[in-house]
Structure 1
């Protein structure tokens, strides 16, 4: 059965639509299990299960027979979320007969639930006339097939295939809230160059010009491959040289070019037409039974990417950004955001990532409503479509109707009024109503952050992400280029302190000119580990920071991803070396305060020892939560397990502040947790001296802190610390905010799905 399973999966992968997938499943499973019936029931909009495909029952019953959850044996499988294996189905009390199916002839019944991300999507059933129980191997096979089918069905449901996507009703997709707020605008799809899976759907205005353009691109790639083959001729053996001949053969294949030409003649743009044809060929090769031919799929994909790079050289420059742009892509980057003209970026939707991905953090700092991890979004076909981004619930709506638009427009206006109403407190101190003072600083990385932070009354910078200027270039910035960027930040906030984190790359932050390829990047070469291994990078950056601070003296330097004392001592030695060098060169520099970030469990348990060696401690709650809970914060599959208010996280946060204060060292927190109004109250009660957050949340947090006494915050903390899980803690906080009349600071009243 293992060979059957592999073959079925390959055939399913090569199918072009859901209907074909279901037909393949019922036909092939019936054959593989040597049974008489195989059927698929799928959940519909009402939560009932409809017969959608069958091989063995009457075909006329497809689309007509529907069972509610817990109705009949199919409904029972869905309700129990586990297989049901019966030798005589008719004798079971839940058995329900449908005359139109003709199933009265069959006694044996085996049904398995089709489950995707804890949701039952449908039921896969096999039946047989003979009275017998299906054996363990058969049951295991059907369970495996159900698991394979789950992802395909979930995608079809999300893309509207199961709900007649061609209708005028809005189609909703779910992701993870990345940055709160609502955006209404027009979708612009962006993708990395030469990514075959991410080419936006596009048409051409002049078919003849597009055909000529396609022909020129093929010819250019043909010449490139010839030159490359000739230059490597003496370095490759005969078998390896065959690959270049194979590439040329594919480029000369008239059938391949003809397929693309036909699609262009129908009005498709060359890049999209080429990607569709190549991906079809990749599917075909991948589904072949012969292992050698299956391996050729990677060759076809590689050649396809080479040609696509040529095709996209001109089309990439033709992106037009509407006044209200919603940027959509598989994996958005800071440079993609930077391409949108100032004031025109309304929202972001990323297929990959989670709420604590780097791009989501940047979006929050810029106040841009964002959805992450929208894994089922058919993003390549959304260019130019109207879209609503609900950053509160993590929902995306395509082609919204008038009622939906009015509902979200009201929320958008309410958000604007709330922000405008908070302006009156921007110059007031952040203190509780009984005068316990807390400093509110900001996290920045872009110039837009700086201007917004000053407007909102920030008292300093708790985290300046120095990697952003590195990420926006195609090479390492020089010492002088860095100095100019850092000087701009220091001058903007002077005399308030600016905490500059040394270069923090690795994990989910990569530099295109300094790639780090690792099996497990979050446990690999990142943060201080990279810069200590490259002291030339570290020293150049520190020198640029120190020179930028001349005459201002508001610089603080912070070290990321510290896991042991030795890293701090080596970094201190290098910083003193840079300081001494600049003194010798005649610069009037001051030694800035030095601090470390606590982001990993090892640092939590050495907080006291670390505090004894530095001037300040800062907690990076995003990574600390990730490492404490063993949850990849970029993985949308486990996004619901990432709880920054998990009891373990709260206990670690309280321990850090207690240990640091025992050494007389101030403690700040610069993770996203500090910008959540409910969490901010808990941090104030714990004793954190500084809360550093994105500028968009600063006034909300200040408003909440000013509305309570320290005693009330401490009472709330004591109650929360006794609770067993994050869900209970969130409910407790929401109840407390409702009681205090502060619930609008968390999110607007969004109603239910029926209203929005």
Structure 2
């Protein structure tokens, strides 16, 4: 049966349109189940009726004509109850409805299963037979499995039709909405330009060669050609990006370096493998390593390696990239967008980005935020290869893409685009002003950093310090653990760049499924495994070297703060503090006179929430990691598109946990900051202010908006709003109540110019 299922799904996947897909389904399922009838009814959202769209066994003239409301007939019953229905004699059931044009009176037994995709009932799959009999458990299970497998295929075929402006029955329709993940805020209206991958590494076979030197020469030529391409693309973007942001292209060049991809491929070629096969082997190994990582930012590096692999392969195959025509208001669409693709669009023509894969942590999303290009990632249901040349709207606030937008929707989004332009101009004036409420409450705004590219952006937007410096990023760009001297140089650069403002350095946060290439860790449940402080306490040599480098780097600057990740109890904290004191003693014995910096811990694990007072007593400050804390409290991987809508930092459980942390830390006289997506959300920042957080740390892009909003409210109003929302038990209601309250104060559309569109869409 598994084999049959696989074959049917493959065949349906290759169908040219929805009609062909449904015809294959009814033919193959009827044959596989040995039934006399197989039919598919699809729910038409406009009429809210289940329409017969394909059949084998009933009268084909009834296709498109016979339909039932959810409260009519057996098909309506299966669809409305969202569960299978197995009847020995269908006509005896009280919900049975007879349609003379189908000729179904000859068939007694009935088995129907709902077709459901992402919670949406799409239709019903039915088989019927003349003999009176109950279908057995195996037959019912097969049909249920078949309908579950086909739901995504039918959704894809439907989407392909809707992109051409056609509904299920070929009727003309207006816009169709596809949902993804917000990548970079903003809205854009334009025409889709689809970028297909230039070469496919997956299909490269192994091949032994005799002339190894010739293969090495071929590969080295390709390597140099791709280096030149990357340099040219970086130069092309020079007028749109600051040098620090163009440093992302230096990461590409570093990956191509002789000490990285280049050397590894050459080693494999020397074993007698041809250049293409060696490239495939090395690139796939790197991709696997990155994709297994827990840190979403680092996991997204897999797409960069893929892009480099494709570019190298294209040169090895002497295949040039497709020639694309970039019009004004280009919206770039691809299965997996890469930074290099952005560089190929002429300056001034790129207004939006859409990627079928990836998340808000991908390199391309980081670049898009820096360049101010509205972006939607992870639009998994979009048949991207079919949208070339079609009108699109990209909503980077809600993570939505609209194909064939109507004149009304275009006009609404045109207003949003204009409001954004005016808002950006207004926010620039805030840089030198303090973040202070109308009644004088100060709220320091700090930034999260990891790349040198973040430094200038943070300073340009008026950051008052670094709330989180991710030290694992420099560890990732090496083939071994960086030495104490190498780490010292990296940390000194960061501390000097922000001096005299404080820089909070998180100790190495690896482990679980965020393994370094030279320190692999394999576990069956990595999210709950060996990660963060658990790894570095088990390897004190790594922890001590890093702490010593941090302390030495801070000599004469005294703006270092040390932050410990993934603390789940007092025993871990005590061990870590003992090692920090030991490193401090060693550094001073060596003649480096530095004071012991403030040491804090991250509240990311729910256990830390409920031990907050005991933990706070032993440290100088507390920092909440809102992304991980939300993820662990709700048991939701926020980068998984299937459950991404369940990830919500305004969930009542998250808000209650945050209050416990703030109150507990303050009871021990310790300041509390918060970093992550929640801190950078202007509306959520109002609630964090009311809770009593002492500072917020965020992506530099969001800092001006958060500052603007907090300067428009009073502490009293913020507390009043928080008290009202803490009584609500539904996260969606909390969101809508918060935005409504801010809109009533005249602040809603400035937080998110597209927020008013939510109800209309």
Fold match by TM threshold 0.5: yes
Which of 629, 637, 651 is matched with 2:656 structurally?
651
Distance 1:338 1:488 in 2: 28
Aligned residue in 2 for 1:13: 10
Partner residue in 1 for 2:117: 116
Give per-residue Cα distances to partners, 1:611-636, cap 9 Å, x unaligned: 11111110001100111111122211
1:605 aligned residue: 610
Which of 371, 377, 382 lines up with 2:376 in the alignment? Answer: 371
Task: Pick closer, same or farther for the CA change 1:592–1:360 going to 2, 3 Å.
Answer: farther
Q: Secondary structure at the match of 2:504?
A: strand
Name the CA distance, whole Å, in 2 between partners of 1:406 and 1:92: 51
- TM superposition shift of 1:381: 7.0
Which residue of structure 1 aligns with residue 444 of structure 2? 439
* Counterparts of 1:487 and 1:333, CA distance in 2: 31
Give the secondary structure class of the aligned counterpart of 2:142: helix
> Partner of 2:226 in structure 1?
none
Map 1:134-533 → 2, pairs under 5 A: 134=135, 136-160=137-161, 172-183=177-188, 196=202, 221-223=207-209, 310=313, 349-352=354-357, 369-379=374-384, 388-397=393-402, 408-472=413-477, 476-506=481-511, 509=514, 511-533=516-538
- Which moves more between the two structures, 705-714 or 536-545? 536-545
Aligned to 1:29: 29
- Residue 583 in 1 paired to residue 569 in 2? no
Alpha-carbon separation, structure 1, partners of 2:576 and 2:197: 38
Provide the rounded CA distance (Å) in 2 between the counterparts of 1:690 and 1:224.
64
**Cα contact 1:174–1:374 (8 A) shared by 2:** yes
The question of whether the paired residues in 2 share the 8 Å contact of 1:528 and 1:560 is answered with: yes
- Larger deviation, residues 161-170 vs 174-183: 161-170
1:662-718 deviations in Å (ceiling 9; x for gaps): 221110001211111222122111111111111222222222222222222222222
Q: Return the alpha-carbon distance in structure 1 between the equivalents of residues 348 and 594 of structure 2.
A: 38
Shift of 1:193: 9.1
Residue matched to 2:305: none
| Secondary structure of the structure 2 residue equivalent to 1:636 | coil
Q: Matches of 2:151 and 2:622 in 1, distance apart?
A: 47
Q: Distance in 1 between matches of 2:36 and 2:339?
A: 56
> Number of residues paired by the alignment?
660
Secondary structure of 1:637's partner?
A: coil
Classify the secondary structure of the residue corresponding to 1:124.
strand
Q: Report the 3-state secondary structure (helix = DSSP H, G, I; strand = E; otherwise coil) of the residue aligned with 2:209.
A: helix
- Note the C-alpha offset of 1:537: 3.7
- 2:162 touches 2:176 (CA, 8 Å); kept in 1? no
What is the aligned partner in structure 1 of residue 51 from structure 2?
A: 50
Contact 2:163 2:387 in 1 (8 A): no
TM-score by length of 1: 0.75
Of 578, 581, 594, the residue aligned with 1:573 is 578
Displacement of 1:405 in angstroms is: 6.2
- The answer to whether the 8 A contact 1:196-1:308 is kept is no
Deviations 1:628-677 (A, max 9, x none): 11112221111121121111111111111111112211100012111112
Distance 1:65 1:754, change over 3 A: farther
Q: Does 1:129 align with 2:130?
A: yes
Instruction: Please tell me whether residue 691 in structure 1 is matched to residue 664 in structure 2.
Output: no
CA distance in 2, matches of 1:79, 1:607: 48
Question: CA–CA distance in 2 between the matches of 1:340 and 1:168?
Answer: 31
Q: Which stretch of structure 1 is more off in the superposition, 23-32 or 592-601?
A: 23-32
**In structure 2, C-alpha distance between the alignment counterparts of 1:224 and 1:173, rounded to whole Å:** 51
Aligned with 2:672 (options 667, 676, 679): 667
SS of residue in 2 equivalent to 1:675: coil
Aligned-partner SS, 2:122:
strand
Q: Structure 2 matches for 1:80-91, cutoff 5 A? A: 80-90=81-91
* Structure 1 CA distance for aligned equivalents of residues 199 and 511 of structure 2: 22
Contact 2:198 2:320 in 1 (8 A): no
Deviates more, 1:418-427 or 1:681-690: 418-427
Distance 1:164 1:429, change over 3 A: closer
Q: 1:267-302 CA distances to partner (integer Å, 9 max, x unpaired)?
A: xxxx9xxx9xxxxxxxxxxxxxxxxxxxxxxxxxxx
Alpha carbons of 1:146 and 1:705: their partners in 2 closer, same or farther (altered >3 Å)? same
Contact 1:607 1:656 in 2 (8 A): yes
Tell me whether 1:595 sits opposite 2:594 in the alignment. no
Unpaired runs of 5+ residues, structure 2, are 214-271, 275-279, 285-308
The TM-score, its normalising length taken from structure 2, stands at: 0.75
Which residue of 2 is the match for residue 617 of structure 1? 622
- Give the Cα–Cα distance (whole angstroms) in 2 for the partners of residues 596 and 476 of structure 1: 24
Please give the root-mean-square deviation of Cα atoms over the aligned residues, in Å. Answer: 4.3
User: How far did 1:472 drift?
Assistant: 4.8
Q: Say whether the 8 Å CA contact 2:160–2:383 is kept in structure 1.
A: yes
Conserved? CA contact 2:513–2:523, under 8 Å:
no
Separation of aligned partners in 2, 1:550 and 1:187: 52
Measured against aligned partners, the alpha-carbon deviations of 1:450-475 in whole angstroms (never above 9, x if no partner) come to 22222222111111222333445565
Q: Is the 8 A contact 1:111 1:123 kept in 2?
A: yes
Task: Report the alpha carbon displacement of residue 111 of structure 1 after superposing the two structures with TM.
Answer: 2.2
Does 2:89 correspond to 1:73? no
Distance, in Å, in 2 between the alignment partners of 1:338 and 1:472 is 23
Structure 2 CA distance for aligned equivalents of residues 195 and 696 of structure 1: 36
Partners of 2:149 and 2:552 lie apart in 1 by 58
SS at match of 1:643: coil
Of residues 184-193 and 562-571 in structure 1, the stretch that sits farther from structure 2 once superposed is 184-193
- CA separation of 1:567 and 1:42: change in aligned 2, threshold 3 A: same
Q: Deviations 1:73-117 (Å, cap 9, x if unpaired)?
A: 333432332334445545666555544433233343332210111
- Structure 1 distance, partners of 2:391, 2:514, is 31
